[in-house]
Amino acid sequence: MRKNFAEKSKNKAFLGMFALMSATSILFNGCNRKIDKKESEILIPNGHPIAKKVPKIDNEDVTSDKRVIYLTFDDGPNQGTENLLRILNKRKVCATAFLVGKHAYGSKKQKNDLELLRKDPLVELANHSFTHAHNKYTDFYKNPESVVNDFNIAKDSLKLYDKIARTPGRNIWRLNNISVTDLKSSTEAANKLKQAGYKVIGWDLEWKPTNKMVLKGKHEEMLKKVDSIFFNDLEKTSRHLVFLTHDQYLTDTDSVNELDLFIEKLQKSNRFIFRKISEYPKINEVLN
């Protein structure tokens, strides 16, 4: 069913039709609210944080004049992790980091960056496999059992207590209400992950890199793409957009500034709420 909201009939531009407003008006929506210290310090005996239980969220949880954006960053910990955290803390906005297990052991700095991610209450951690398919995606997905094993190793080594996952090199969704596979050859592996209890999340919009591995294009282009997705009902779930980029693209000043401006303009439009992926609609339902 396609969405029906009044502003479409008035003006097709989400961001352009409103004067810029103070971002403080949305700081208490979604995960932009003040973070309760007690909530962020809940620990299990071995000292690692427990994933906070969140209520199920339906579309009605979001008022008709708001849209939800889930900022997600893949392949961490990586070269741009510290820059990513600076942006998130500057803007007081939350995000989900989909981690690669072997990256946590790649260097002393990556190990330290993992701890920075783990300690930051604005960030939640999720599973992006242990090996990242060794960047040989076709071969990786030919063996569904080894795919599940790879994610299990990442889950255990990174101490991830919620089985939210994203597949390397593939835009795959496996939730109770969404099943999407970008390449059919990966279908069996995706189904095996779901059978193993993994809630597999893809994305609606990706900010891709140049061949120099920096963010491609300007923030204005990405804002237009956000508008287009919402206006044309291209989200997997109505009024909820999953945004993807990678922290390793945030190593140069221009890329850092462009991502910062992208988030700032979204905030100042006063039309968007930011949430962690664990708050995506129906993600907390037990998989069938």
Q: What is the pLDDT of residue 288?
A: 76
Q: How many CA atoms lie within 13 A of 89 on its CB side?
A: 11
What are the pLDDT digits (tens) for 165-191? 999 999 999 999 999 999 999 999 999
Q: What is the pLDDT of residue 62?
A: 81
Helices in 159-252 by DSSP H: which ranges? Answer: 187-195, 219-231
Sign of the four-CA dihedral 86, 89, 90, 95: positive
Domains of the chain: 15-34+63-279 (3.20.20.370)
What are the pLDDT digits (tens) for 41-92? 333 333 333 333 333 344 457 888 999 999 999 999 999 999 999 999 999 9
Decide which of 215 and 63 is more confident: 215
Residue 12 scores a pLDDT above 60: no
Q: Is residue 7 very low, low, confident or very high in pLDDT (cuts 50, 70, 90)?
A: very low
C-alpha separations of 27 from 35, 93, 260 in Å: 11, 8, 16
Q: What is the pLDDT of residue 223?
A: 98
Q: What is the pLDDT of residue 38?
A: 36
pTM of the model: 0.83
Q: What is the pLDDT of residue 286?
A: 81
Q: What percent of the chain has pLDDT over 90?
A: 75
Q: Is residue 10 very low, low, confident or very high in pLDDT (cuts 50, 70, 90)?
A: very low
At residue 151, the 3 state secondary structure works out as helix
At residue 242, the 3 state secondary structure works out as strand
